[in-house]
Structure 1
Amino acid sequence: MGTRIGVYIRWSIDVSPGEKIRLSTSVRSKRTEQIFDFFLRSALSLAKDVQVDVCSLRQVARTGLRVRTSLTLSINPSTVYYFAYSLNRNGSVPNPPGFWSFSPNPLCSDQQLQANTANVRFHMKPTVLYNRMNTHVLSLLQDIDSHGFVPIPDIIYASNPTFSAMSESSNSKPLPQPSRNVSNADRSHSFVQSPRQGRYHKCEMSKHCDRLLSIGYLLTASPRSIHSRNSPIV
């Protein structure tokens, strides 16, 4: 576990000459309950609207960024410290994400290790975990929908902008859901991608959104630029 030092998180590591030290950290954000409810309420109508199989829709359950850093020293045994910067105001990870130092004080800039002297390396890899609707949940949802109990969000498409607004009626009640493990997140925007139009539609879910990241995506295909894997909603 790192120790918070002001705006930094610090790790201390004992290093031997010629030893290569690797440190891996990660930043994760999980979907909100509201986003999951929205996915259940809108999945059937969305699939019908864009003419795709509802089971082909994907919801982002978790996004993250893995940060790996390493260094190699050729000096006498010593203790080195790694300081990770705080996230940017928009939730992104700074580049570089941190720095190595011989001093436990992050303000001692003359003690920081440079890439040419300690072979310092950084590697950042974004990750995403998708959820898909399984047949059990789909069957239950279709049964509820057949009785008219699914509150469908109103979708208003603008003529020129690539964004649309989605809103739910104020008297909508949460749907009965299978048990699941979901953690709170501080992002509550969602996006919908139409496979025919090839664009994203912004769906306002909350007035308290302070970051705009890829939380709540409903995708029909996974981006190739990031590592992803699918997980059924169980």
Structure 2
Amino acid sequence: MSPLRTYASKHKSKAMSTETLIPASQQISASEGARAEYSKAEGKMSTAVEWYRKEVAGFETRASGRVTPALLAPVRVEAYGKKSDPVRLEEVATVGVKDGSMLIVTVFDENNLKAVEQGIYSAKLPNIVPQRQDSRTIKIPIPKPTVEARNALVVNAQRMAEDTRVQIRKTYAASIKKGGYAKRTVEYEEFQKLADRNIAEVDKILSQLKKSSGSK
């Protein structure tokens, strides 16, 4: 079992030069339950951050004006009328790029064309308007993003960033409440650091989006 950190004094804490070599989840307590809860909270926070990272990656693509199949990544399709089991677009169709400014969606089975078309509309992607070309093909012209469109993407990303921060804070609060950890205990401080670290990562992702899109 890894040695516990102590907070008897700031001087002692600083003197423990080897403590950074011990994983935080093992530092927080001798209690197996506390370490398990830390691991659980860490996983939930990491999942929230990675979800946000992927959403922002899509925003960056749209803000840059690059036309790639990834623009349709959020689309879900109720193939063959299965409303309870929607699938990703790439499972029922191919997505290509034509002339650098148009997406071409070709369904594997023409019976799914209407469902694909509806899935694209339901995704509510900015400036994405499907146009049926034939029984198996949908074309989607992609206009160059305006300043207003880029700003709208950043505003949306800011809203989603706050939602992600709230989710991280809720996970933190639930872990503290479950363990009954008091302030200034090792457990309390380590869970706080975990939350702060993940929130800082969300802030970093948002900052990079603002920089790449030219927004302040």
The TM tier, using the shorter chain, reads: under 0.3
Structure with the higher strand share, 1 or 2? 1
Report 1 or 2 for greater relative contact order, CA contacts < 8 Å, sequence distance ≥ 6: 1
TM-score for both structures, normalised by structure 1? 0.22
TM-score for both structures, normalised by structure 2? 0.24
Structure with the higher helix share, 1 or 2? 2
